[in-house]
Structure formats: C-alpha cells, structure tokens
Structure 1
Amino acid sequence: MVIAGVLCMCTAVASAGFGTWSLSRSQVADTSALALRALAPTQLAAAIMLAAGGVVALAASPHTALVVVIVCVAGALGTLAAGSWQSARFALRREAAGATAGCAVACAGCTQTCH
C-alpha cells in the first residue's frame, strides 16, 4: 500500500499543480484557454480526493486502505471526466454563440438565412 499511497500523493500534487497553473493564467477570450480555466476547480477537487486516498493508504490497515484508495481514485477520475465534459460543452456553446453573432453581421445585407 506504500506504493499506492505514494502514487496517489504524486498524482495529487500534479493535479493540484495543473489546476493552480490554469487558474494563475490571465483571463483571455480564447475559447480553449477558457475551457482549461473552467477545468481548474475540477482538477483541484481531484487532487484533494487523491491526497486523501494517499494519506489513508499510508496510514490505515491494508484492507481498509485498499477500499479507500479504489473509491478515491474512481471518484477523482469521475470528477475529472465530468469536469472535462462540462468544460467541452462550455467551449462548444461559446464557439457557437460567436459563430451565430458573426453570421448575423454577415447576413445583415443579404436575404439568405444563416445557419
């Protein structure tokens, strides 16, 4: 369980580092940068779950630690998957809104319907 605990702690540090890096970047209008910034809270939440699993793996009995590590890793992966899905939907909606606004300007002088 020591190896699992150390791996969870290292992954937690990496996830927290990426989340902090995403939050520390300046806000820009670029859709991909906004999607990465929107994913930062999810990365920080996953880091907390992985850190908790790592601490339990290092401190608890092997039977208890195994169950907790599995739950924490599954929770962190599920949280990252859901956050990635929401971030991608946000980016697509933002791009669609920008395309619709550009279409309205482009179609202002014509009689065709914009899609």
Structure 2
Amino acid sequence: MQIAGVVLLLAALSAAVAGLRNRRVTAGHDAPIRQAVAPSQLVAAVLLAAGGIAALISPPGTALLLLIVCVVGALATIGAGSWRGARLAVTEPQSDGQGCGGGGCGGCGQVCGS
C-alpha cells in the first residue's frame, strides 16, 4: 500500500500542476477550453491526494477500498471535465482572427455559416 500511496500522491501533484497551469492560460485559441477543464483537474488532484493519504495511513483492507473509490472518482471527474471542455470546443466559435472569420475555412475543420 505504501507504493500505491506514493504513486497516488505523485499523480495528485501532477494533476494539481496541470490544473493550475490551465487556470492561468489567458491567450490562445484553446484558452477557454483549458480554463473549463482546470477545475475538474484540481478536484481530481484532491481526490487522488485523499486516496494516497488513505493508502499510507489506513489499515490494508480499508486502504484498498478507499484507494479504489478515490481513483474511480478522480477518473470520473477528469472525464466529466473533458466532456465539458469538448462541448465548449464544439459550441464556441474560435475568435482569434483565423478560420471562418479570417477569410476562409481552408484547413480549419470548422463548419462555416457563410
């Protein structure tokens, strides 16, 4: 359980770093999408950290159950955040001066209304 706890704590750290980086993104065509995914990454980091701590300090039987619940919860949270980011990417037009508004749709992959 010690190894699983340390692995989960490292995964929590990487998810937190990714979430904080995505929160600070303000420029670029994918900034709104990355900002939409950031809260779910931070929540997943908290869940993974809780699972890692539980794996380190709980009795083995309880630790395994808590570890599984936290990992499944974190994966579901990341999945929900990714779904939200994908919906945002599909529904919001890109406004960086390229693509449909920038003089043509050559190679952008969007369906233009004109």
TM-score bin (small chain):
0.7 to 0.9
* 2:13 corresponds to: 13
SS in 2 for 1:95: coil
* 1:37 aligned partner: 35
Is the aligned partner of 1:76 residue 2:90? Answer: no
The Cα offsets for residues 43-100 of structure 1, whole Å up to 9 and x where unpaired, read as 000000000000000000000000000000000000000110011101110028xxxx
Residues 75-94 of structure 1 aligned to structure 2 (within 5 Å) = 75-94=73-92
Inter-partner Cα distance in structure 2 for 1:34 and 1:6: 33
CA distance in 2: counterparts of 1:88 and 1:13, whole angstroms: 24
User: Which residue in the other structure is 2:106 paired with?
Assistant: none
Aligned to 1:3: 3
> Deviation above 4 Å: which 4+ runs of structure 1?
none
Q: What residue identity is the alignment partner of 1:61?
A: P
CA distance in 2, matches of 1:95, 1:58: 46
2:51 and 2:8 mapped to 1: Cα distance?
Answer: 7
Larger Cα-atom Rg: 1
CA RMSD of aligned residues (A): 2.2
**TM-score, with normalisation over the residues of structure 2?**
0.80
User: Percent identity between the aligned chains?
Assistant: 44
Identify, as 1 or 2, the structure richer in helix.
Answer: 1
Q: Residues 89-108 of structure 1 correspond to what in structure 2 (within 5 A)? A: 89-95=87-93
Could you list the runs of 5+ residues in structure 1 that have no partner in the other structure?
103-113
- Count of residues in Structure 1 that have an aligned counterpart in Structure 2: 101
